[in-house]
Copies of this chain bind each other. A is one copy, B any other.
Amino acid sequence: MATMQEVATRAGVSIATVSFVVNGTKRVSPATRERVTAAMAELGFRNNVVARALASKRTRIIALLHPALEHRLGSTSMKFFMSAANRASELGYHLVLWPVVTGPDELRDLLSGGLVDGVVVMEVKMEDSRIERLTDLRVPFISIGRTADTTHLPFVDIDFEKTMEDGLDYLTGLGHRRIGLVIEDLEGTSMAGYAPHIRSERTFRESMTRRGLLPHVVTCGPGAAGGRQAAADLLATEPDISAVIVMKDDSAFGLVRGLSTAGRRVPDDVSVLSIASSDEAGAQSEPVLSTMNAPGHELGKLAVEALIEQLDGAAAPDAELPHLLLPCLLHVAGSTAPAPA
């Protein structure tokens, strides 16, 4: 708990010199540096993060904002987080997961004091008041996910449009014509307007129509039970369905089971493709699911790099905003097959 002042006294130098040594801010003669370093070691000096933050306006802390109460942290989000935290650490920053629980005022208190240098926003809706607020507060930020209007928004995101097109290309290439979409129902919840769902469903409807096919969309409740019910609902809508795209990890296997309960074998009678998912999640199913894997790791890394570039002023003043889109990549396993004759 020694202070910089104590170190200075012990080393017989000024407090400024200690600061220069600690931060490498200015040249210090080897001899002086030596004395200061020794004094620091003897006293067990630790730079006081809060004092430094107040004086310098930098904390090297980045907050990953998450609407903890409204949306559970899924495995894709966890990958974002892990990957972002890692990359931040490599670049000399701390990244912490900050559950924003109450209203927007909490955000202001947090940020206006300079507690964090920058912010990563996730779980973004098509219209998202947090984005405007961050812009107003002039806090450096980046978004994982994007609002409807991305003109002034720095973001990285999954390319849901391309992912859906690729998925449909794949299924139609296998000869499927009667294709359903199973998607989480967020209407009426605080996550209504969640961008990934809106974009995916919209693209599904448009693309199917463009391909001259009928878009069958069914919503899905939580967990395995939700998936079972979705299977029943889908078959009620279109008994001859031959392929299903599902965007809900924790219900995908329930969907498969619901289909087999109804006498449809996967993949012989019905193909199932789980999107915005992962190999590991797919392997939890029987048969192993064909998936389109979310690039969570890459996005977490890229988001942090772009933000820190901004923080460190490495970005040119007139640099373009980061606008990065990565599609999910297809991994074919055991739940998809050519359409039955």
- Given A97-B96, A257-B286, A280-B250, also A82-B78 (CB < 8 A): no
Q: Are B113 and A51 in contact (CB under 8 A)?
A: yes
Q: Are A78 and B73 in contact (CB under 8 A)?
A: yes
8 Å CB interface, A72-109 against B: 72-73, 78, 81-82, 85-86, 89, 94-99, 101-102, 106, 108-109
Q: Are A98 and B96 in contact (CB under 8 A)?
A: yes
Chain B residues, Cβ within 8 Å of A95: 99
- Given A82-B72, A85-B68, A225-B283, also A49-B113 (CB < 8 A): yes
Chain B residues, Cβ within 8 Å of A115: 49-50
* A278 smallest CB distance to B (angstroms): 10
Q: Are B113 and A101 in contact (CB under 8 A)?
A: no
Chain B residues, Cβ within 8 Å of A112: 1, 46, 48-49
User: CB of A28 within 8 A of chain B?
Assistant: no
Q: Are A224 and B78 in contact (CB under 8 A)?
A: no
- Given A82-B72, A86-B68, A98-B94, also A284-B114 (CB < 8 A): no
User: CB of A262 within 8 A of chain B?
Assistant: no
User: CB of A53 within 8 A of chain B?
Assistant: yes
User: CB of A148 within 8 A of chain B?
Assistant: no
User: CB of A322 within 8 A of chain B?
Assistant: no
Q: Are A286 and B286 in contact (CB under 8 A)?
A: yes
Q: Whole-angstrom distance between the alpha carbons of A225 and B85 in the complex?
A: 28
Q: Whole-angstrom distance between the alpha carbons of A68 and B110 in the complex?
A: 24
Chain B residues, Cβ within 8 Å of A68: 81-82, 85-86
Q: Are B284 and A284 in contact (CB under 8 A)?
A: yes
Contact of A113 among B47, B81, B97, B98 (CB under 8 A): B47
Chain B residues, Cβ within 8 Å of A109: 46-47, 49
* A48 smallest CB distance to B (angstroms): 4
User: CB of A160 within 8 A of chain B?
Assistant: no
* A179 smallest CB distance to B (angstroms): 25
User: CB of A223 within 8 A of chain B?
Assistant: yes
User: CB of A54 within 8 A of chain B?
Assistant: yes
Q: Whole-angstrom distance between the alpha carbons of A88 and B153 in the complex?
A: 32
User: CB of A69 within 8 A of chain B?
Assistant: yes
Chain B residues, Cβ within 8 Å of A51: 54, 113
Q: Quick one: closest B residue to A78, CB to CB?
A: B73
Q: Are A49 and B284 in contact (CB under 8 A)?
A: no
* A309 smallest CB distance to B (angstroms): 20
Query: Which among A106, A109, A113 has the highest number of chain B CB atoms within 10 Å?
Result: A113
Q: Are A113 and B50 in contact (CB under 8 A)?
A: yes
What are 26 A-B interface contacts by the 8 Å CB criterion?
A: A1-B112, A46-B109, A46-B112, A46-B113, A49-B109, A49-B115, A50-B54, A51-B113, A52-B113, A63-B96, A69-B86, A72-B82, A73-B81, A78-B78, A94-B110, A97-B97, A97-B98, A224-B283, A224-B284, A224-B288, A250-B280, A250-B284, A253-B286, A254-B283, A284-B284, A286-B286
Q: Which 5 A-B pairs have the closest CB atoms?
A: A49-B113, A97-B97, A46-B112, A89-B101, A48-B113
